[in-house]
Amino acid sequence: MKFKYHFLAFMLLFSGCEQLDIENPNNPDGAGVIVSGADLSKVLDQAYVDWWQAVHGVYPNIALAVTGDAYGMPWDDFGAFRMGKEPREAYNNRLTEPTLYRDIAEVPWYGCLAAVSAANDVFLALERGVSIDKGGNQDKSVQAAAHFIRGLSWGYLALLFDETPLVDENTDLSDPIVFASYQEAVNIAVAELEMAADIAETIGFDFVHQYFHGVVLDQTAFAELCHAYAARFLVQWPRTPLESLQVNWATVLQHAEQGLTFNFAPIADGEAWTSYHPYVFNDAGEGPFWARVDQRLIAAMDPSQPARYPEVQALGELPLTETEAQSADLRLESDFIFLPANIFPVERGEWHYSHYQHNRNLTDIDFAGDGQTEGPMPAFRLADCDLLRAEAQLRLGNLNAATEIINSGTRTTRGGLSPIVPEAAAIEAAIIYERAIELLGTAPMGLWLDRRRLREREDYLEVSPLGGLQLFTPAQLPVPEKELRVHGLPPYSFGGEKDPEGIERVY
C-alpha cells in the first residue's frame, strides 16, 4: 500500500485527537491528482514552494538566528524572544504551546515532508505510465528535479532534527514508520543529490530546470547546485566539535570542487516566494524595529568591543564607552549600518542590544532585494562554496591550498583585510570569521549550524565573538509532538539546564 505519508499521518492524528483542533498543514491530494504529463511539473512546482517556505521563511530562521547569536531580537514574533533568553531555555515541544512557538519545529518538519511526499507522488505517477515524452529527456528532467527536491528536504531535516522518516515511493506504509538518525538522513540526502546530478548529465544540453522562481538552471548549473548542497550537508550536520571529527572531508572536497560558480538566489514575488530577510535587513520593508546584528559579530570585527552588550540596568554594568565600532574590515561600513539608539525594551533583555543592522541589501545591488516583493533572496553564495573548499583543504592538511582560497576570496576582495599565512590556526580563524561576516543573511540558520559544530559551548556571560553556542541552547529540534502522537511516542525537548549541550532528549 502506497499512500501520501503526511496525509496518512494526519488522518491518524485527527481521528485520535479531534479535541486539539489540529488542521492539516498540507494539501492531501496524493498521487491521484497526477493524470497527465503537465501535472508532473505542477506537483513539483508546489514541492519546491513547500521546501522553500519550510527552510527560508521566518520559521525557523528568525528563532534559530537569534539563539545562534547572529541577530538580537526580543519580540515574541516567530518565537524569537523565548529562543533568545539568557541563560537559554529548552525548546518546549508541547502542543499546549502557542502556534508561533510550535511553528519553529512544525513549519520545517511538515514543509519538508510535504515536498518529499510530492516527489514520491511524481515517481509513482511515472511508474504508472504518466509521461511528458514517453521516457524521453523531459521525463528524465522531471526525475532529476524530484530527486533534487527530495535530497534538499531530507538534507534540511537532517540538519535541523535529531531524526526523520525516510519515506520514499517504495515504502510500505502498512508497516510502522522507521525514523532514521540525522547521520543516516544526510547520507541518503547526498545520494539523492548525486542521483539528480547524474540524471541531468545524461540529458546534457536539453536539460532545463525552472522550479526556483526567477532562476533557470541548465545542466551545468543544476549539477553545481546539487554538489554544493551535498557539501553543505556533509559539513554542517555535526552537533558538536567532537562529531565534526567524523566528517569525510575528502568527499566534501570532491563535492565543493564541483560546486557553485554563481550565486544561487531565487527571486521574491510577494506571494509564495518570500523569505525571512525583511526582518533582518535594514529598511527592507519592515523598518528598523526588527533584528539587530548580534553584538558578538560586532566584536568579531572590532575586538575592542565587548562580545556581550552590557546590561547596565539589570546587572549594573558600565555602558559602552564607544557605541560606534571601528574595524580594518571594509564590510563594517559597506554591509552594516550604525544606529545610535537602542529601541528594544530593557525588560526584554539588554543582551539583545546592538547599534548595528545588516545593510548589505542596500549597498550591494547584486546581493539581495527586500526578501518580500522584489529582488534576489540569497540562499547559497559562491563564497560559501569557496569556504567549504577551504575548510576541506585545511582538514585534509593542504594548508597552502586552503590559504590560497582564503587570500583570493572575500576576505581580501570585499573586506580589504591582510592575507593570511599558511598556518592551521590562522586558516581556521579566517574561515570561521568569513562564514560569520560574509555569509550573514545568506544561508538559512547558517551561524547556528556553524557555532554548534566549530566551537565548544560557552557560558552566556562569557561568550567570545566567534565561539560556540551558549550553554543550554538547543542544538537540534525535536520531532514535533503532533507527529510523535501519530506514532504513539512521548514528546521530548532539547536544551535548558538538563541538556547543556542541547543534544540529549529531555522527557
Q: What percent of the chain has pLDDT over 70?
A: 93
Q: In the structure, what pLDDT confidence band is assigned to residue 31 with cuts at 50, 70 and 90? A: low
Give alpha helix (H) positions in 359-439.
Answer: 360-363, 382-395, 399-407, 410-413, 424-437
Cα 116 to chain center, whole Å?
A: 17
Q: List pLDDT tens digits, range 163-222.
A: 999 999 999 988 888 999 999 999 999 999 999 999 999 999 999 999 999 999 999 999
| Low-confidence winner among 7-11, 201-205, 293-297 (lowest mean pLDDT) | 7-11
Work out whether the CA dihedral 112, 117, 122, 127 comes out positive or negative: positive
Q: In the structure, what pLDDT confidence band is assigned to residue 11 with cuts at 50, 70 and 90? A: very low
Q: In the structure, what pLDDT confidence band is assigned to residue 18 with cuts at 50, 70 and 90? A: very low
The average pLDDT across 415-443 equals: 98
Half-sphere exposure of 34 (CA within 13 A, CB side): 28
Q: In the structure, what pLDDT confidence band is assigned to residue 17 with cuts at 50, 70 and 90? A: very low
Q: Collapsing DSSP states into helix, strand and coil, what is residue 486?
A: helix
Nearest CA-CA partner of 383 in 305, 462, 440: 440
Nearest CA-CA partner of 256 in 451, 387, 439, 424: 387
Q: How many residues does the chain have?
A: 507
Residue 14, pLDDT above cutoff 70: no
Q: List pLDDT tens digits, range 219-276.
A: 999 999 999 999 999 999 999 999 999 999 999 999 999 999 999 999 999 999 999 9
Residue 235 cell numbers, joined: 559539513
Q: Which residue has the cell 529582488?
A: 375
3-state secondary structure string across 351-369:
HHCCCEEECHHHHCCCCCC
C-alpha span between 266 and 275 (Å, rounded): 10
> Can the peptide bond before residue 74 be classed as cis, meaning omega within 30 degrees of 0?
no
CB-based contacts of 4: which residues, under 8 Å, 6+ apart?
Answer: 28, 29, 30, 31, 117, 120, 121
Would you state the pLDDT for residue 41? 97
Q: List pLDDT tens digits, range 120-165.
A: 999 999 999 999 999 999 999 999 999 999 999 999 999 999 999 9
Q: In the structure, what pLDDT confidence band is assigned to residue 22 with cuts at 50, 70 and 90? A: very low
Biggest distance spanned by C-alpha atoms of the chain: 74
Would you state the pLDDT for residue 286? 58
Residue 192 cell numbers, joined: 539523492
Half-sphere exposure of 465 (CA within 13 A, CB side): 18
Q: In the structure, what pLDDT confidence band is assigned to residue 288 with cuts at 50, 70 and 90? A: low
Residue 472 cell numbers, joined: 543550554
Would you state the pLDDT for residue 24? 38
Report the C-alpha dihedral over residues 283, 466, 331, 62, rounded to 10 degrees. -20
Which DSSP letter does residue 24 get? P
Q: List pLDDT tens digits, range 73-92.
A: 999 999 999 999 999 999 99
Would you state the pLDDT for residue 283? 76
The average pLDDT across 467-481 equals: 98
C-alpha span between 366 and 361 (Å, rounded): 8
Cα 347 to chain center, whole Å?
A: 30
Residue 41 cell numbers, joined: 511539473
Average pLDDT value for the chain: 93
441, 279 contact by CB (below 8 A): no
> Can the peptide bond before residue 60 be classed as cis, meaning omega within 30 degrees of 0?
yes
C-alpha span between 119 and 147 (Å, rounded): 7
Q: Comparing 448 with 32, which gets the higher pLDDT? A: 448
Would you state the pLDDT for residue 119? 98
| Crossing angle for the helix pair 446-454 and 219-236, to the nearest 10 degrees | 50
Q: In the structure, what pLDDT confidence band is assigned to residue 383 with cuts at 50, 70 and 90? A: very high
C-alpha span between 124 and 507 (Å, rounded): 38
Q: Which residue has the cell 577551504?
A: 390
The amino acid that residue 63 corresponds to is A
Would you state the pLDDT for residue 98? 98
Q: List pLDDT tens digits, range 330-344.
A: 999 999 999 999 999
Q: In the structure, what pLDDT confidence band is assigned to residue 284 with cuts at 50, 70 and 90? A: low
Q: Which residue has the cell 565548544?
A: 456
> Can the peptide bond before residue 444 be classed as cis, meaning omega within 30 degrees of 0?
no
The amino acid that residue 382 corresponds to is L
Half-sphere exposure of 134 (CA within 13 A, CB side): 0
C-alpha span between 390 and 392 (Å, rounded): 5
C-alpha span between 153 and 31 (Å, rounded): 19
The average pLDDT across 36-64 equals: 98
Q: Which residue has the cell 505510465?
A: 129
The amino acid that residue 459 corresponds to is D
240, 453 contact by CB (below 8 A): yes
The pTM for the full model equals 0.94
Work out whether the CA dihedral 482, 486, 488, 489 comes out positive or negative: negative
The amino acid that residue 224 corresponds to is E
CB-based contacts of 187: which residues, under 8 Å, 6+ apart?
Answer: none
